[in-house]
Amino acid sequence: MNEHYIADIYKTLNILCVEDDLDVLETYKSLFSLIFKEVYFATDGKEGFECFKKHQIDIILTDYMMPKWNGLDLARAIREVDSSIPIVMVTALESIEMLREAIDLQITGFLKKPFSSSSLFQVFNVAVKSVIVDRCILKEQSEKLTYSHYQENLSFDKEQTIIQNDTKEDKRLLNFMCEVFYEPKDILSGDSYSIKKISEDAYLVFVVDGMGKGIAASVTAMLCSAFVNYFVNSKSLNKETFVLHTLLQELLRFIQPTLAEYEVISATFLYFDNKNQKIEYAIFSMPPPLYILKDDKTVYKIKSNNPPMNAYCDHFNVSEKKLCDIHKMLIYSDGLNECTTNTENELYTVYLSQDFALAQDAQEFYNFFASRCDEHEDDITYIFLKEIPKDR
């Protein structure tokens, strides 16, 4: 390694000198102050350890024989909190036991009294090279972590661009107030959704859960959302030409070639047709949307009518339900109902219908959920619809 480079590195390092001989400390001070960035001093091992904890130290030079704590006592304490900092020990002894313990403590180098400046810096150069290696490793790890975070943040921004909610501004979906809660467990989420306005009298609500973890599930979910948005946004579409069955056919044709053999997709499609007062739905192994009818406190479920999407499915079902009598509805992914509660490890599905029935809006529903579940174990997505009173 280039000696000039090492000399420049010295100027970036802080050294701690632990020595009970004040004359020797003065020598260290006059010598090291010109070479190192900062020089710290202590007169025994215990004081040296306190100084080490207080300051950012890069190299330690310590005498062996000192009052209170000797050099090995100091090294032992330091190694409990820092396994790699270079420690150079000065000693007049040649004890085999001392050397054996020093080796166990990974002492970087030894200097036998009396020593010359050349032998001192020969040992220091080894220590400095150790610091350089550690710094390079940390820098590489830091750069990788920074780059990874940068890429994740870009991906998250892209996810937010792909997700489209046509009720975001006025929170109105036909005659319902529409509120969305979307909270990924990780930056790269396996959940996605879209709320698309087909016409003044029709909306599509779509929630997808790419089954699995990490990037693969996220990519699959986002591909599905992007295609659904593209299909609905297509200029050739309008209220008369939109057909849920056609959307599902085209989505399967698009997504199936990208799926691995083991990969499945859970999804909910709800097409709200206000003119004909009906909801067309296709639910692919997703938790059942909940709803309450006007003047009825009973919580009903729209059960799944299809297995999960996969690389081989070639048919599916589209069903219908009356829209006119619905007062309130909850559409959600399984991260909500499968979350573990803080009561005897029960799943939140035990309380889901009860809390939905009591909640007046999405925030109150979340308050119920948060009071029962201390931690989100998966991505959580839900859409809360409530009928708007006629006089509003």
pLDDT in tens, the chain (392 residues): 445 555 677 788 888 999 998 888 888 888 888 888 899 999 999 999 999 999 988 888 999 888 889 999 999 999 999 888 888 888 877 677 788 888 888 888 888 877 777 778 788 777 777 776 666 665 566 666 666 676 767 777 777 788 889 998 889 999 999 999 988 877 667 888 999 999 889 999 999 988 765 677 788 888 999 999 999 887 555 556 789 999 999 999 999 998 887 888 999 999 999 999 999 999 999 999 999 998 888 999 999 999 999 888 888 999 999 988 899 999 999 888 888 888 877 899 999 999 999 999 989 999 999 999 888 778 889 999 999 887 65
Contacts of 309-315 spanning 24+ positions with Cβ under 8 A: 309/252, 309/255, 309/256, 309/259, 309/264, 309/265, 309/266, 309/267, 309/284, 310/256, 310/259, 310/263, 310/264, 310/265, 311/256, 311/259, 311/260, 311/261, 311/263, 312/256, 313/252
Q: What is the pLDDT of residue 84?
A: 82
Angle subtended at Cα 100 by Cα 72 and Cα 6, rounded to the nearest 5 degrees: 70
For residue 258, the cross-strand partners are none
- ω into 389 cis (within 30 of 0): no
Angle subtended at Cα 107 by Cα 103 and Cα 110, rounded to the nearest 5 degrees: 100
Residue 27, C-beta contacts closer than 8 angstroms, at least 6 positions apart: none
Residue 331, C-beta contacts closer than 8 angstroms, at least 6 positions apart: 205, 207, 268, 270, 289, 382, 383, 385
What is residue 92's DSSP assignment?
A: S
Report the C-alpha gap between 73 and 36 in whole angstroms. Answer: 25
Q: What is the pLDDT of residue 94?
A: 67
What tokens were used for 308? 């999960």
* Domains (range + CATH), the chain: 3-138 (3.40.50.2300), 163-387 (3.60.40.10)
Check: CB of residue 239 under 8 Å from CB of residue 198: yes
Q: How far is the first Cα of the chain from the last one, in angstroms, to the nearest whole number?
A: 78
Angle subtended at Cα 334 by Cα 205 and Cα 346, rounded to the nearest 5 degrees: 145
Residue 145, C-beta contacts closer than 8 angstroms, at least 6 positions apart: none
Q: What is the pLDDT of residue 2?
A: 47
In the chain, the amino acid numbered 364 is E
What tokens were used for 137? 């490793």
Q: What is the pLDDT of residue 92?
A: 76
Q: What is the pLDDT of residue 324?
A: 85
